Amino acid sequence: MSQKFTLESLNSLPLPAFSGAVGDVFEHASWVADAAFGHRPFASVAALHDAMMGVVRSSPPERQLAFIRAHPELGSKVRRLDLTADSQAEQGSLGLDRLSDAEFKKFSELNAAYADKFGIPFIICVRRHTRDSILREYERRLANDPDTERKAALDEIALITRLRLVARVDGPGKPKTEGRLSTHVLDNVRGKPAQGVKITLYEVGASARSLLKESVTNADGRTDEPLIAGEPLRIGSYELQFDVAQYFTENAVAQSAPPFLDVVPIRFSIAEPEGHYHVPLLVTPWSYSTYRGS
């Protein structure tokens, strides 16, 4: 795990120590931290990140292009010896270091098509996406022109480095990098929160589904902690399953035999990685409703 620093301490460090503290936030580009050093003191973590991105965006086109090209491809080169620890962890968090043969072939083909057209690797903030979302972004962005894609690459680098910097530096004015997924179950027969409902959360992919979390509602009809928090919500499709038949049985609420509603599934999508998605369930043995709450 990388050492954490306070913004106050960074503002007081000499150049070599400052660059050593945050220089590797930008892929193989400690020169970014060197150039941002002159903008101290930074009033906030966001100001520090803005200064570093300002260095990248204002650098000469040749240096900017070399910087973009130093980033790794997704999937096909995840085992490269020059892959940074941050990139290794980010790609590994989505299983891009464990691709099946078919997935490896798909990513390799897309990487080749993208590099052939634009002359740079496809760059995306992996921590904000599911695999399906990344594959959709490949297809969408392949239709762009080179200037648009260079800008897109820099925008994604800004998202990647923002997450890295927030994990590295404590201080005021941190940019928002975390989302939140929560739920709440209301028993519309008894007019009260539903305690003891088993809830299961899945990520639903094009070829598979992954179990993300299992929980049980408390006396307020909520889970003791959010279903997802402390990180970006990955763009993609999800399903919440609520074991309502078992709940009504345990609370002696009349149902048909077998129950009309057994496990209620709610399929929904996430499009805002830093957003709050609240997905409540209002339920009886015969009906249910949901909405995006706050």
Tokens 């015969």 -> residue: 286
Q: What is the mean pLDDT of residues 202-223?
A: 93
Look at the domain 179-289 and name its fold.
Answer: Immunoglobulin-like (2.60.40)
Q: What is the mean pLDDT of residues 254-282?
A: 97
Rounded to whole angstroms, the Cα distance separating 174 from 164 reads: 12
Per-residue confidence at 91, pLDDT binned at 50, 70, 90? confident
Rounded to whole angstroms, the Cα distance separating 117 from 208 reads: 31
pLDDT at position 52 is 98
Per-residue confidence at 82, pLDDT binned at 50, 70, 90? low
Which pairing describes strands 5-6 and 236-243: parallel, antiparallel, or unpaired?
A: unpaired
Rounded to whole angstroms, the Cα distance separating 292 from 269 reads: 11
DSSP 218-229: -TTSB-SS-SEE
pLDDT at position 78 is 46
Contact 293, 195 (CB under 8 A): no
Taking 90 as the threshold, does the pLDDT of residue 211 lie above it? yes
Closest CA to 1 of 112, 86, 116, 102: 86
When the pLDDT of each residue in the chain is averaged and rounded to a whole number, the result is 93
- Sketch the domain layout of the chain as residue ranges: 5-170, 179-289
pLDDT at position 77 is 47
Q: What is the mean pLDDT of residues 203-217?
A: 91
pLDDT digits (tens, 9 = 90+) for 116-155: 999 999 999 999 999 999 999 999 999 999 999 999 999 9
Q: Place domain 5-170 in its CATH homologous superfamily.
A: Oxo-4-hydroxy-4-carboxy-5-ureidoimidazoline decarboxylase (1.10.3330.10)
CB atoms within 10 A of CB 112: 12
Q: What is the mean pLDDT of residues 178-193?
A: 97
Q: Which helix (H) or strand (E) holds 212?
A: strand 209-216
Sign, CA torsion 10/14/15/17: negative
CB atoms within 10 A of CB 71: 22
pLDDT at position 100 is 78
**Structure tokens given for 12:** 């007081």
Q: What is the mean pLDDT of residues 255-261?
A: 97
Instruction: Report helix, strand or coil for 6.
Output: strand
Closest CA to 193 of 185, 202, 203: 185
Taking 60 as the threshold, does the pLDDT of residue 81 lie above it? no
Closest CA to 281 of 147, 184, 136, 212: 184
In a 13 Å sphere around the CA of 95, the CA atoms on its Cβ side amount to 10
Contact 194, 247 (CB under 8 A): yes
Closest CA to 217 of 190, 239, 177, 244: 244
Q: What is the mean pLDDT of residues 64-89?
A: 76
pLDDT at position 278 is 98
pLDDT at position 7 is 98
pTM above 0.75, yes or no: yes
